[in-house]
């Protein structure tokens, strides 16, 4: 199950991410028989499909661009372990109406053709790249980078720099992000309740919540909590198993984890509701395909 948490208030926590979106890394300096550890750089030229979020009646449709990799990470052909530095540039338009958070592609499944129902390319052709659910009156979306939101509603374009990893990633310390002045929205409570057994209504994963309000998720960065945001990925060994020579390998069941700092945006209502500047974190289940 995927999970996306953004900002210190908890209003944009526990969202599920899309199913079907593709992220590409370019591999080098490894082979099928002698050296399984590849250099890896992000090389996804096409924007990811729009990602719809809605909190307290304020809908946002993020368009994430993967900046070309300048930092090198690693990918292990034998174990499936990945460490990939990436910077996602998030275009942030505030959308209306609430029932149409992101433009939809009218195709009936991932990979099918359709037309954009709204946005910058309304009425033009598209191919469904992913599907997602966004809380609201019409929750199911088929989305495509062919159908970006209306650029006139853009309020900011901000970077999310992180390392996506199949291992453990952490961010420690009170007010861990530049400009952050508040750790959480727990008020007189503490961010200390394990609420992982509570079902998240937004499709993501509950993790830590406020002691005085278990319905409010939070990042435990304050001194009276654990003081650390922690996320754990999962590595899965690709098949055919290295060092068997193969034109391609695949692995299912892997999970990428990432933690980042988000700056504020020019729209004060977004900053107040989401808690910006502040941390963000994600868990992204992935199926890996490796091609020679």
* 78/29 Cα distance (integer angstroms): 14
Report, as an integer, the average pLDDT of 232-258.
Answer: 96
Span 156-190, pLDDT tens digits: 899 999 999 999 999 999 999 999 999 999 999 99
Tell me what the mean pLDDT of segment 111-124 comes to: 96
278: pLDDT strictly greater than 90: yes
Output the pLDDT for position 28: 96
Lowest-pLDDT range of 53-62, 69-78, 84-93, 213-222: 53-62
Positive or negative, the Cα torsion across 51, 53, 59, 60?
Answer: negative
Q: What is the full DSSP assignment across 67-108?
A: PPP-S-EEEETTT--EEEEEEEEEEEEBPSSGGGSS--B--S
Over residues 42-63, the pLDDT tens digits come to 998 889 999 988 766 677 889 9
Chain mean pLDDT for the chain: 92
Task: Reply yes or no on whether the pLDDT at 71 is more than 90.
Answer: no
pLDDT at residue 131 is higher than 80: yes
Split at pLDDT 50, 70, 90, the class of 98 is low
pTM of the full structure: 0.93
What CA–CA distances, in Å, run from 101 to 19, 26, 28, 280? 17, 33, 39, 21
Taking a C-beta distance cutoff of 8 angstroms, is the pair 256, 22 a contact? no
pLDDT at position 56: 65
Could you tell me the CA-to-CA distances from 224 to 124, 137, 186 in Å, in that order? 53, 39, 11
């Amino acid at each position: 199950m995927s999970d996306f948490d953004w900002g210190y208030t908890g209003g944009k926590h526990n969202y599920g991410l899309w199913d079907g979106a593709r992220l590409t890394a370019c591999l080098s300096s490894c082979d099928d028989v002698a050296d399984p550890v590849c250099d890896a750089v992000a090389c996804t030229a096409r924007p990811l499909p729009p990602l719809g979020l809605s909190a307290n009646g304020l809908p946002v449709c993020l368009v994430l661009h993967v900046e070309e990799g300048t930092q090198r990470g690693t990918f292990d052909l034998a174990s499936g372990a990945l460490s990939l530095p990436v910077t996602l540039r998030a275009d942030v338009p505030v959308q209306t109406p609430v029932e149409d958070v992101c433009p939809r592609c009218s195709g009936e499944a991932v990979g099918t053709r359709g037309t954009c129902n709204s946005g910058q390319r309304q009425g033009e052709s598209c191919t469904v790249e992913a599907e997602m659910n966004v809380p609201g009156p019409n929750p199911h979306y088929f989305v495509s980078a062919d159908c970006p939101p209306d650029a006139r509603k853009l309020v900011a374009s901000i970077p999310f720099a992180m390392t996506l990893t199949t291992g453990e990633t952490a961010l420690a310390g009170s007010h861990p992000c530049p400009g952050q002045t508040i750790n959480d929205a727990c008020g007189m409570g503490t961010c200390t309740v394990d609420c992982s057994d509570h079902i998240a209504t937004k499709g993501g994963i509950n993790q830590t919540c406020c002691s005085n309000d278990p319905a409010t998720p939070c990042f435990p960065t304050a001194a009276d909590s654990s003081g650390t945001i922690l996320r754990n990925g999962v590595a899965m060994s690709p098949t055919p198993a290295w060092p068997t020579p193969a034109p391609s390998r695949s692995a299912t069941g892997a999970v990428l984890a990432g933690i980042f700092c988000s700056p504020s945006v020019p729209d004060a209502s977004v900053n107040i509701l989401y808690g910006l500047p502040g941390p963000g974190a994600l868990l992204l289940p992935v199926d890996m395909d490796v091609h020679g």
